[in-house]
Structure 1
Amino acid sequence: MPMSAFAAQSLDDELIQYVNSSDEEESKPQPTLGMSASTSTPTVSRPLTRNPSVSGNLVQLMAIHTSNFHVTDENVIFGDEYVIFGLKAHENLIVRGQYKLVIQRGALLVNNDLYHADPRQIQIVAPMTGALPVLQPAQVVDMSQVTDDRNKENEHLFSSDYKTVVKLYNFFTGLERIGTMYPPLKNIFVDQTPSDEPKSAFDLALESYSFIPILENKTFAFSSSNGLIIPKPWEMFVNNMVEIIKCQHKTGYEAVSADPPRILIIGSKNSGKSTLLSLLVNSIVYQNLKGEELDEYPLSVLDVDPGQPIFSSPTCISLGYMSRLAHPPLYGGFSAINTEYEDNFTLSERFLGTYSPSQNPELYKTAIESLYREYNRSQKPEGCPLVINTPGWIKGYGLELLSHLTALVRPTHLVYLSNNFSQGIHTQGSDFEHLNMLSFDNYINLPGTYSTGKYSAPQIRTFKTLSYFHKQLARVHGLRYCFDPLVAAAPYEVSYMSDDPKDEKPSALYLGVTAVLVLNAEHNDDIAYHRHLKEILETSIVGMIAIDEDLYQNEMKQYVVHAEGENTPNLLPMEAFAKLDYERCKFLGLALIHSFSKTKPELRMYTPVDTAKISVYLKATASRLVLMRGDLETPISELTPKVIVDNYKYHRKEKFKPKEIVLPYVSLKLGPKKSGVGGVWRVRRNVMRRGQQ
């Protein structure tokens, strides 16, 4: 029977106790690449229909906070697991939460994505981390694609008063319970805040559903909600790109594979890059534009924003390759690959271990170059268009990184989300000076959204980290999450190599952890640093990397630092990291280190990755498993889950002795009264003081 994390902790380790440190991370000067701005003027080699010029005024995107849909006795039908809405022309419906959308009559625009009535269910996961999708009735483009579902229940909604009928099913993925672990996110899908306001019958009826429409009479509760009516400039650009892709495919396979579109979106933070990219991806992969299916047109996404990734794991960048059924549509800035779609979606990732490219710019550039070579090798020959998501860092050193990226990719279409739509490449001003450093064929200036979301960047990072670690593996359940505390379950026990690697038999393939590498570490004495390696790794999140055996033996093994008699994992210093070749290694996933055994070379860890697949991969490819520790923040709620803390408070209140309550990573010892800290819990921070939130 597997033991719990608490049992594992108590077998051979004492309760970990420590005090908080008030030391703050020192600011570091910005690194320099030693590269100068390109003096060449960007060339426009392809004509592109440009947006209508706007003289001197910023084009405002139509952000709406509530639906203009009005509830009546006949336009809403409640079922046990669904709600049916009858939409009139010019009405819209903003829905937050998780739901499966079925169009029963007519056609529907979801942002710019056109769907016709048919029985298929469209899975939508729309948290409050981004712009919410807006459901709008649309004109039917092709009646041959319409399969209306008229029945006794909804028959009255097929009158001339209504244009579109939609049916929203419950879709409880488990994500709605994330607030049980991290209370700031409890309202990220539906509002769970207690209120003394009287509730209408309509409000009470909606309490059992996984979604909730945002209506006009609820502005007080949803003042931070944002739906987005796609503006004409964005719509023109997206439709233009879809037409370009279609036309290139019609001209012949060879013409497309020679130079498929490469679309790079740039803009400052909160400018709407993720929203525009999601719109573009949905339109290319899902859209039935003008009645013509785009099933045969796959798409690649180069996601190079480690701080706010769309597809990538936290602190990773990636190259994704998808087809029509690769994933649910992207709405609300959240991407979750449904396990039933995994066979149609491939994701190649590079672990950076940091939220900002500035921490290790050379590693960032090397990782991007590796991913782009992979695109050129395996996806470009298929004529696969490439869409590139970038960080919101477009000035100073960030501009130098963008210059490097555009020189590498040479985008056919550079999209700049401007805060002044009247400025662009053809006018004088700061925008022109910045863009003149970049390489591209076509330039498109679009208005940015520049709205401040309800949740901060650290909260969104916590959301994505918790989502990553609590996703379930079972394919039969589709998209599922479980937010029971990790530390309440049994961790995996993994052996690691602590012997001198020189004594290892050449023919032996070690399937445990061969060595550990700490990224961005500032240490001069590897031996002294090595003695604290366990403390550095404990409670931290690491990347699991499979490294080619020949690469390890010939390039990296010579640098391994071994501590004689210390029972400590072998350490790969930064000199060995310089030998890392991304083409000869594979990112396997993230893991949270729970603890180390004191009696044998074993560590305990949690990971959502199927460990059986890891073993199979290591054997099949003759690879070594190396753990890389970066700056990825461990959510404090993983170390002291709310449910366990509440249980502890209850026992304290009921006068149980504190020693009867055992919590990993938390000291229950009271501090000196004169210190003023009293019974404040002192949650452990790792030695580097950068790995916790």
Structure 2
Amino acid sequence: MSAEVPKYTVDDSGDSDDSVSPITSVISSKEVTVSVNVAEYDDDEVPYKDLRQAFKPIENDNVLLIEFSRDTVLVGLKEKQRIFISGVFKLQVVKGGIIYNNIHYNASSEHFNVWHPLCNSIPGIQSSYFAGWEEACHIGGNNKTLVMEDLKDYCCVIRVQNANVNGLNKAGALFPDVKYLWSPRDGARLSFTSDSCTYFFLQEGVDPFTPLLISNEWSNNLESLTVAHKSSLYDTRMMVIGGKNSGKSTFLRLLLENFLYNGERQTVDDEILYLDLDPGQPEYSHPDCISLSRITRTSNILGGHLGQPYFKILRQCYVGSSSPQEVPNLYLTYVDELIHKLEGLDHMGTSLVNLPGWIKGFGLNIMNHIISRYKPTHIILLESKGTRRHLNELNLDLTFESQARSEYSPIVSNIAGVSSNPDELRFQAHQIRTFKTLSYFHATEKTEYGLEYEFSPLLNKPPFQISYGSSGLQGIQFPEEFAGLHEDDIKTALEGTIVGLFCCKQKLEGPIIDKNSFPIIQQQQQQETLYFTSLVLIHSIDVKNKYMNVFIPLFNFEKIKNNPHQKWVIVRGRSEAPLSELYPIGNPFNGERIPYISVEQRKKHEHVWKVRKNVMRRGHHLK
């Protein structure tokens, strides 16, 4: 079935912000808190409120330090007791079992990397028993004696230690808005843990956080979708559609964890393909990008990782904006490219789609286009009062054919999303976007074995140099609205901005015009020609000697350095450089003229907020 790309006009823009009605205050930029699940235990057991045994860490009692260098502790949990931990940490179930997001994990030698930022609701780790015939204590040496003797009265013992993530909690020094992203402001840290400890034990009713509690409706739908995933003989394609702050990312993450970890190791799939199509709040893509990634069982990653760990990205496209509303036609072109890439893999397993929350006006056209191209087998609609009428306008009465399936129609499930008041969130979406951009440029190492960050201002570091013209950088591409840009304004339109760096796979199409020594690409390039490599922050440009001083993430630099004869192109989009990067705290410029910032003029084509007075809107009445 073919589908035409919908054309975007100004009248179709609609409103990208969904109307929401405040229900509860949640600590989340995109995550949600949903009602508690009580179906986890037998009906004849006591109500859930009686099962909530708050965990309070007591040193040398239920918490034992076993290795100071990595802040490694053993934690004993009583029957059905829950513990909440923020930060980034490695988790092992040493004795018994745990329930995490309604999934049971037996004691084993397996370690999980858990990400619990306070911008999301925090899942609880609840004690359980070993589900099997032969229970063992999965720890050796003197530590086994501690488990069997000192912690013998606890049905569950977990080991918690620092993750292989260094420097991430220092981001607040550069961007104070996220200083308390990983630990609460006034939380009491255990006395025997170090200052570099990457995790924090939270106490219910004391520390400011919101537990992630899963409703029966969500649990039932997650279970049925997991059954469909495991029993399907063909490829299974699932997409979750909803407005902003409706719980899309939370639901998708729960789905992913169920697919990869719910069941015996030999009965679960080893990989899931993930279409990350939300450039504003991506799960796996780089900032302002969309991508297709392969998520494997062996990654052992739980929680909301904010796109930090290393994942295998199969294809990535630089949209150059955090919203498809700004570049809808380009966005749809990239969506088609990624879906075409997915089709070419002949994947017989399951794929998931992360979508933006733009479900009004032209956003509905985009959703309908993605549905027709992706050909989902299952569609989950997260409804709220403010979005139900918009979701009803989606074209879901469709029949598809794929390489593996004959005619089929998608199974549509309507479940309740969660509405929240954006003004009550501790972390706003733009703050998390800024954090992701900063962590991207300040990551010095990013591998499957660990992550390293260094958050001193980039302006304090020497930039890399890239020549342009006859060698190195072959061309510069601007958005369509920059077509009339004067040659004298090109330099200022690039300095202090984030651009996409692409390698040329084929000869560039169309003419390349020399404007004040800058090679300007006049024609939009085909996707087979350019391949996205990295984001780049342009520090300054030497027009006379034809080179640019740029900042490239160190974890990406080797790919560029090892290809000295590669031809490159930069694409200027609408990506915003964080102000904290251009003007760091403490003003290091010592009274000199501050670069990138002007009170006299603005960059060409930059957005300016204009104050309008005496504008009558709905609900505004004269006295």
Q: Tell me the equivalent position of 1:75.
A: 62
- Cα deviation, 1:54-109, whole Å, max 9, x if unaligned, reads xxxxx952399x98223456222234212322112222111111111111111112
Q: In the alignment, is the contact (CA less than 8 A) between 2:241 and 2:380 conserved in 1?
A: yes
CA apart distance, 1:148: 3.4
1:21-170 maps to which residues of 2 (within 5 A)? 30=10, 32=12, 61-62=35-36, 68-72=54-58, 74-79=61-66, 80=68, 81-143=71-133, 147-149=137-139, 151-156=144-149, 158-159=151-152, 161-170=153-162
Query: Using the alignment, how far apart are the partners of 2:608 and 2:533 within structure 1?
Result: 21
Q: Percent identity?
A: 26
1:642-657 maps to which residues of 2 (within 5 A)? 642=585, 644-645=586-587
CA apart distance, 1:30: 3.6
Residue of structure 2 aligned with 1:595, choices 536, 540, 556: 540
Q: Tell me the equivalent position of 1:460.
A: 432
Residue of structure 2 aligned with 1:231, choices 186, 211, 215: 215
| 1:611 and 2:570 are equivalent in the alignment | no
CA apart distance, 1:268: 0.7
Aligned to 1:190, the other structure's residue is in SS state: coil
Aligned to 1:118, the other structure's residue is in SS state: coil
| 1:549 and 2:523 are equivalent in the alignment | no
Tell me which amino acid in the other structure corresponds to 2:539: H
| 1:353 and 2:341 are equivalent in the alignment | no
Query: Using the alignment, how far apart are the partners of 1:438 and 1:86 within structure 2?
Result: 52
Tell me which amino acid in the other structure corresponds to 2:229: I
Q: Tell me the equivalent position of 2:406.
A: none
Q: In the alignment, is the contact (CA less than 8 A) between 1:119 and 1:147 conserved in 2?
A: no
Tell me which amino acid in the other structure corresponds to 1:562: D
Query: Using the alignment, how far apart are the partners of 1:364 and 1:474 within structure 2?
Result: 27
- Cα deviation, 1:608-639, whole Å, max 9, x if unaligned, reads 153342355585xxx64110111111101111
CA apart distance, 1:685: 5.5
Q: Tell me the equivalent position of 1:674.
A: none
Residue of structure 2 aligned with 1:581, choices 495, 511, 526: 526
| 1:433 and 2:392 are equivalent in the alignment | yes
Aligned to 1:454, the other structure's residue is in SS state: coil
What TM-score, normalized by structure 2, do the two folds share?
Answer: 0.80
CA apart distance, 1:270: 0.7
Structure 2 CA distance for partners of 1:431 and 1:234, relative to 1, 3 Å:
same
1:228-627 maps to which residues of 2 (within 5 A)? 228-248=212-232, 255-256=233-234, 260-285=235-260, 287-289=261-263, 291-294=264-267, 296-325=269-298, 327-332=299-304, 334-338=306-310, 345-378=312-345, 381-419=346-384, 430=389, 433-436=392-395, 439=398, 441-451=410-420, 452=422, 453-473=425-445, 475=447, 478-497=450-469, 510=471, 512-523=472-483, 525=484, 528=486, 530-550=487-507, 552=508, 555-556=509-510, 558=511, 560-563=512-515, 566-567=516-517, 569-573=518-522, 576-577=523-524, 580-608=525-553, 609-614=555-560, 616=562, 619=565, 624-627=567-570
Tell me which amino acid in the other structure corresponds to 2:605: M
Q: In the alignment, is the contact (CA less than 8 A) between 1:129 and 1:333 conserved in 2?
A: no
Aligned to 2:574, the other structure's residue is in SS state: coil
Q: In the alignment, is the contact (CA less than 8 A) between 2:381 and 2:391 conserved in 1?
A: no
Higher strand share: 2
Higher helix share: 1
CA apart distance, 1:515: 0.9
Aligned to 1:376, the other structure's residue is in SS state: helix
Query: Using the alignment, how far apart are the partners of 1:139 and 1:420 within structure 2?
Result: 41
Q: In the alignment, is the contact (CA less than 8 A) between 1:129 and 1:332 conserved in 2?
A: no
Q: Tell me the equivalent position of 2:4.
A: none
Consecutive unaligned residues of structure 1, counting only runs of 5 or more, are 1-27, 34-58, 249-254, 424-428, 500-509, 652-657, 668-681
Tell me which amino acid in the other structure corresponds to 1:614: I
| 1:216 and 2:187 are equivalent in the alignment | no
CA apart distance, 1:131: 2.1
Residue of structure 1 aligned with 2:584, choices 630, 641, 644: 641
Q: Tell me the equivalent position of 1:189.
A: 182
Q: Tell me the equivalent position of 1:23.
A: none
Q: Tell me the equivalent position of 2:166.
A: 173
Tell me which amino acid in the other structure corresponds to 2:531: K
Query: Using the alignment, how far apart are the partners of 1:588 and 1:481 within structure 2?
Result: 20
CA apart distance, 1:146: 5.7
Q: Tell me the equivalent position of 1:55.
A: none
The higher radius of gyration belongs to: 1
Query: Using the alignment, how far apart are the partners of 2:170 and 2:391 within structure 1?
Result: 47
Query: Using the alignment, how far apart are the partners of 2:237 and 2:302 within structure 1?
Result: 20
Query: Using the alignment, how far apart are the partners of 1:684 and 1:186 within structure 2?
Result: 33
CA apart distance, 1:463: 0.8
Q: In the alignment, is the contact (CA less than 8 A) between 1:416 and 1:445 conserved in 2?
A: yes
RMSD: 3.2
Structure 2 CA distance for partners of 1:417 and 1:685, relative to 1, 3 Å:
same
After TM superposition, where is structure 1 displaced by more than 6 Å over at least 4 residues in a row? none
Tell me which amino acid in the other structure corresponds to 1:389: N
CA apart distance, 1:443: 0.8
Question: When the two structures are aligned, how many residues end up with a matched partner?
Answer: 548
Consecutive unaligned residues of structure 2, counting only runs of 5 or more, are 1-7, 14-32, 38-47, 399-408, 610-623
Structure 2 CA distance for partners of 1:31 and 1:374, relative to 1, 3 Å:
farther
Query: Using the alignment, how far apart are the partners of 1:240 and 1:618 within structure 2?
Result: 52
> More deviation in 445-454 or 431-440?
431-440
Q: In the alignment, is the contact (CA less than 8 A) between 2:107 and 2:138 conserved in 1?
A: yes
Structure 2 CA distance for partners of 1:163 and 1:335, relative to 1, 3 Å:
farther
Q: Tell me the equivalent position of 1:46.
A: none
Aligned to 2:514, the other structure's residue is in SS state: coil
